[in-house]
Amino acid sequence: MDALRAPAIFIGFLLLTLVCLPAQWVALKLALPARARIPVFYHRMLCRIIGIRIRVVGTPIKEGGLMLANHNGWVDIILLSSLSPLSFVAKSEVNEWPLFGLLSRLQRTIFVRRGEKRRTVSDRDIIRDRLKAGEILVIFAEGTSSDGNRVLPFKSALVGAAELPLENSGPTRHPPVQPVSIAYVASYGIPMGRETRPFYAWYGDMDLLPHLWGVFATGPLDVVIEFHPPVTVDDVGGRKQLAKHAELRVRAGLMHALHGALMPSTLLAEAHPEDEDEEEAA
């Protein structure tokens, strides 16, 4: 059965994508309300197909804010997108990736371009308009991904969107910023050690497609996601202080989860409680 796991998941991934991709394309073209919910359904189904179980600590912000998260690789996209409607801020190179660039565009990812002042200003305007419209945007503030065992320093330059005023006149209002810890804690329900976690994390110079196949073949994954209390730049004193504040919160959350401090069921809630309600009703 283990030998069939990766091919079966890959087929399920392709079939689900072939169904949801054109539906999301139409929803975007016609500006239908479903354009926000289809990605949630798509990624929630991917979690089921791959065998990912998510436990959530805390409450995610609902509208008009930023999430600053640690980054273990492409699996993080599936995890966060399965919980609520949101979009990502990513480097422009992602837009050129086969298939995944298309999927990113369909989720309305904002591709930022560095090194050109004119385009940087344009990107900031797009981010501000999206925040003013009430959207949630996710930034992986390390600027890269890690092996899942640690949190790299947050780059304050990537947190500049937190300083964007959301009003053109009147009192200055800055977007709420929520630190988010993502921890890969177990495989097949067995606590995961430092040597196992990199099998799921995508970092360094790993090729994407072989790693994708490897995750499909490795087995079910248990994840803890902690949403820390949101703050603004006004609360902590500026962009650099905000980056450090978020980094410390995210690192503490990761360490607690990896050491099992957040594992008791009394502290955790299942990520998709409506699924349990449907099962009980059935």
Q: Percentage of residues in the chain with pLDDT exceeding 70? A: 87
Q: Check whether 261 has a pLDDT greater than 60.
A: no
Q: Which residues contact 231 (CB under 8 A, 6 or more apart)?
A: 176, 177, 242, 245
Q: What is the pLDDT of residues 60-102, one digit of tens each?
A: 999 889 999 999 989 999 999 999 999 999 888 888 887 888 9
Between 188 and 280, the more confident residue is 188
Choose among 201, 185, 179, 194: nearest CA to 256. 185
User: Do residues 127 and 110 touch, judged by C-beta distance below 8 A?
Assistant: yes
The pLDDT of residue 91? 85
CA distances from 218 to 75, 87, 183, 259 (A): 13, 28, 17, 22
Q: How far apart are CA 278 and CA 262, in angstroms?
A: 26
Choose among 10, 179, 25, 175: nearest CA to 107. 25
pLDDT band at 113 (very low <50, low <70, confident <90, very high): confident
Residue 112 φ/ψ, nearest 5 degrees: -95, 145
- Which of 6-15, 95-104, 169-178, 271-280 bottoms out in mean pLDDT, i.e. has the lowest? 271-280
Q: Check whether 4 has a pLDDT greater than 70.
A: yes
pLDDT band at 204 (very low <50, low <70, confident <90, very high): confident
Q: Check whether 267 has a pLDDT greater than 90.
A: no
Single-letter amino acid code for the residue at 17 = T
The pLDDT of residue 270? 43
Tokens 């090194």 -> residue? 115
CATH architecture of 51-281: 3-Layer(aba) Sandwich (3.40)
Instruction: Average the pLDDT over 18-45 and give the result.
Output: 96
| Torsion over CA: 128, 132, 133, 135 (sign) | positive
**Count of CB atoms situated within 10 Å of the CB of 256:** 18
Strands 190-191 and 177-187: antiparallel
- Which residues are bridge partners to 13 per DSSP? none
Residue boundaries of the structural domains of the chain: 51-281
- The pair of structure tokens assigned to 94 is 């992602």
